[in-house]
Structure 1
Amino acid sequence: MLAGRTILVTGAARGLGAEIARGLARHGATLILADIAEDEGRATADELGASFLPVDLGDPASITGLAEAVADAGGGRLHGLVNNGAIATGIGGIGFDEIEIDSWDRVMRVNVRGTWLMTRAAAPLLRASGSGRVVNVASDTALWGAPRLLSYVASKGAVISMTRSLARELGPDRIGVAAVAPGILTTASTEYVPEARHRLYAEGRAVPGPQRPEEIVDTIAFLLTEGALTLTGQLLPVNNGFVFA
């Protein structure tokens, strides 16, 4: 499905990002993985025969440096970008009136500004490929308004809105931009989530039970193909029917 296409995945060291990378590798993509966790990122890249580049999505200079390194590695072209990198742990379980301002700003800096800057930095490379695709990983928490998780919910709502606007701005260059919105997945990054919230999802899905991260990979892979341009601007809630778009 993705043979001959070079894809950059951020936040790819572990969890959902690593599973996305494994799935894209199975579909034949040439992968460049990026993460702030260098040791784990290199281990995942070595496992998949992929390239690894460090990045701090909270640092604009680091994002610019990543794009320059990707340009050097890919001959100035990039076929796909998966904006998966985000802060998701250690920021939930408290009310909106208990969130520290520094914590709020950090989530927005990485999840929102980082997604924008990463897309901006990659855009020239995506244009050069002639069939660039961007997949933003949002969250269905922004669709049903999950409580006691406001900074994360707000950041993922912003990612959904940015997806639609970017689709219109990049569409003339035949660059497709879409978003996926998973629910709670069974990964290390969701171990902190209260059992009651896991049970809410498991019992409330149209297809009951837990959802594994590898179950959403094929959808992401399709959105990165040349044939997925018709889905630009769309949000796909890949959550086994917990909420519907």
Structure 2
Amino acid sequence: MSLSGKTVIVTGGASGIGAVYSAALVREGAVVYIADITDGTSLEAELSQGEPGRAIFVRTDVGDEESVRALVGTVITEHGRIDVLINNAALFATLEPTPYDQIDLALWDRVMRVNLAGAFLLCKHVGPHMAARGAGRIVNIGSGTSIKGHPGMLHYAASKGAITALTRTLARELGEHGVVVNMLSPGFTLSDTVVKDNPGLVDVARAGVATRSIHRDMYPDDLVGALLFLASEASGGFLTGQTLLVDGGQLNT
């Protein structure tokens, strides 16, 4: 599943699960643009030493079209192409479980702006470059919450449900241009950010561990194999519009 020489964008790639994705892609030889509103300069330095690939941090607000346009322009100017887009940026770790009728509209809009509009904007500006080259891979990060429902997390689950529709529709629009679009959907994952920022959410979400076929907590490294499969030539050029659910067998698809 080598990605040697490939140019990859990872949104939200500076911390949490995104940082694990970035590190894995660099280890496989990719030039990884870490697009995040969180400072990723230290991660850039760390991942650019002694690895086959390298990391480049570009501060980006995925919910702002001009910021996304600037990111894509930078990548094209510096490397001439974008081979893989990983739409990972999302608001989750800081969200407190809240009953549906108590979710503030401003928070709802912010979640949709980052989680859904962010993915749309990256696809809007990256897709044409991939289509012009006749090749490319887009991996949208979904969530098992949109399949099973998650009380108290309606805003997040709804945003990820919309990512499913975005993935399936874009797969049809971009397929004729040689671009494949798939979705990786994790189960609840104990990333460093969610453990640090939201222990209350951890307590609620971990209750589902007992319903998994594999009875243990899930960690970011559990997602790496599936991510590399979808991002690399290992998945071929005929797999598109699909969801790969990685959750220890909690849900069967």
Query: Is 1:66 aligned to 2:71, yes or no?
Result: yes
What's 2:62 paired with?
Answer: 57
Q: Comparing 134-143 with 89-98, which one deviates more in the overlay?
A: 89-98
Q: Give the counterpart letter for 1:62 in structure 2.
A: S
Q: Give the counterpart letter for 1:46 in structure 2.
A: A
**TM-score of the two chains, using structure 2 as the length reference:** 0.91
> Equivalents in 2 of 1:218, 1:27: separation in Å?
11
Contact 2:86–2:138 (Cα < 8 Å) also in 1? yes
Q: Give the counterpart letter for 1:142 in structure 2.
A: S
Aligned CA distance change for structure 1 residues 95 and 173 (closer, same or farther; 3 Å):
same
Instruction: Give the alignment of 1:204-215 within 5 angstroms.
Output: 204-215=211-222
Deviations for 1:71-116, whole angstroms, at most 9, x for unmatched residues? 11212x1100000011113323110000000000011111111100
Q: Post-superposition shift, 1:137?
A: 0.6
Q: Give the counterpart letter for 1:47 in structure 2.
A: E
Instruction: Give the alignment of 1:26-37 within 5 angstroms.
Output: 26-37=27-38
**Structure 1: 4+ residue segments shifted above 6 A:** none
Contact 1:78–1:128 (Cα < 8 Å) also in 2? no
Q: Give the counterpart letter for 2:76 in structure 1.
A: A
Query: Is 1:108 aligned to 2:115, yes or no?
Result: no
> Equivalents in 1 of 2:131, 2:226: separation in Å?
23
Aligned CA distance change for structure 1 residues 194 and 110 (closer, same or farther; 3 Å):
closer
Percent identity between matched residues is: 37
Aligned CA distance change for structure 1 residues 5 and 200 (closer, same or farther; 3 Å):
same
Q: Give the counterpart letter for 2:18 in structure 1.
A: G
Unaligned runs of 5+ in 2: 49-54
Q: What is the aligned residue count? A: 242
Unaligned runs of 5+ in 1: none
Query: Is 1:98 aligned to 2:102, yes or no?
Result: yes
> Equivalents in 2 of 1:238, 1:195: separation in Å?
18
Q: Post-superposition shift, 1:227?
A: 4.4
Q: Comparing 219-228 with 155-164, which one deviates more in the overlay?
A: 219-228
Query: Is 1:200 aligned to 2:207, yes or no?
Result: yes
